[in-house]
Copies of this chain bind each other. A is one copy, B any other.
């Protein structure tokens, strides 16, 4: 039998009771004949506490400070890995806890957001061959010269997928507090359905558009390495082999393709509009260059040429937390082109319909616009890609829009999820 990687997030290892339960889920995999590598996050709340301590000591703006920050913050996962190994031993299994430096899992030196360079498999392979379960502290690595690094928030998912790839695992099971990926957020759309399969590309869009189930980078990696990732709940008692969650697979493995697979949303963006901007070459560079220099990500951009063609209106979105800084730059930076007025609005939401089926089915975007029009919902900005269409709308219409679109695309389940 093959190797399974299991990853348990913060709510799954919230306290010693939950860790004991996780031990039973790990034991079941080993009893089914698998070799098992477990990757764990910090116990719920621990990382925030450690980050809070660090921030109280230092503003953390220098690389040298971030190196010591990583030294502190990586300890959260170290604790969980040791505790789960103890829980497994208490069930009569052989188990050993591993920090990133012990494998080693070698990363670059970009402290607090490091990337994995290589994973040495020899030591853990020997441990597995001796019948031990390997319990790896996620979210952390070590530089070539022996300093602790962390992989950024959500980095334990990345650890799990990279480890699954390095060890050639059959499957990487990501246990979380939801039991899979849904057609839409079930807290808003009660008739949302769990997806049994979703393609990597769709999951990537779902993740980057606001579905918080998996970290974007871990989905990218799974796609690049072809790792079979299953998202499932540690509160579900069915065997993981029966695929009770959502499996990420190649597009070709999905037999019945829907036009739309899922609907994602984000409340994290704000809109800025500049009116009557002079329309000449270099205008976009003059506006978006200074924002990029300040590290502000611009997401959606639309430009409408006014009558005559001499001037144009430009609307774009930035993260809500960046809005004040972006406005300051727009108003003061000398490189920004001349314009009449600037408007901004933080009470907006982005809604995205996603599906690889869009490649072969025409009219998906048109149906989105018609559905929103029927509900009298005004579209502020539109942006499209090969497998998704996103619109920016007034935030107060968000729930209405999601439910209407979910019904329109035929995604509603027979019964409401409670």
Q: A interface vs B, CB < 8 Å? A: 16, 19-20, 50, 53-54, 56-60, 62, 64-65, 67-72, 75, 78-79, 81-83, 85-87, 89-90, 94-97, 99, 101-102, 123, 146-148
Contact = CB atoms under 8 A, between A and B. Distances in A.
A97 B68 CA distance: 6
A218 to B, nearest CB: 25
Contacts of A90: 57-59, 65
Contacts of A68: 82-83, 85-86, 89, 95-97
A16 B58 CA distance: 11
A75 B80 CA distance: 11
A95 B75 CA distance: 19
Given A58-B90, A67-B96, 7 more contacts: A54-B82, A57-B90, A58-B89, A59-B90, A65-B86, A65-B90, A71-B85
18 contacts: A20-B57, A54-B82, A57-B83, A57-B90, A58-B87, A58-B89, A58-B90, A64-B96, A68-B83, A68-B97, A69-B82, A69-B86, A70-B82, A71-B78, A72-B82, A99-B148, A101-B101, A123-B146
A20 B58 CA distance: 10
Contacts of A83: 53-54, 57, 68, 72
Contacts of A82: 54, 68-72
A62 B93 CA distance: 13
A50 B97 CA distance: 15
B57 A87 contact: yes
B65 A50 contact: no
A64 to B, nearest CB: 6
Given A58-B90, A65-B86, A65-B89, A53 B79 contact: yes
Contacts of A79: 50, 53, 72, 75
A82 B67 CA distance: 9
Contacts of A87: 57-58
Given A50-B79, A75-B75, A16 B67 contact: no
Contacts of A94: 64
Contacts of A81: 71
Contacts of A62: 89
Contact of A102 (B16, B50, B97, B146): B146
Contacts of A96: 64, 67-68
Nearest to A95: B68
Max chain B Cβ within 10 angstroms of own Cβ: one of A57, A59, A62, A72: A57
7 tightest A-B CB contacts, nearest first = A72-B82, A71-B82, A58-B86, A75-B75, A57-B86, A68-B85, A16-B56
A82 B95 CA distance: 28
Contacts of A85: 68, 71
A259 to B, nearest CB: 49
A144 to B, nearest CB: 13
A90 B68 CA distance: 12
A231 to B, nearest CB: 27
A331 to B, nearest CB: 33
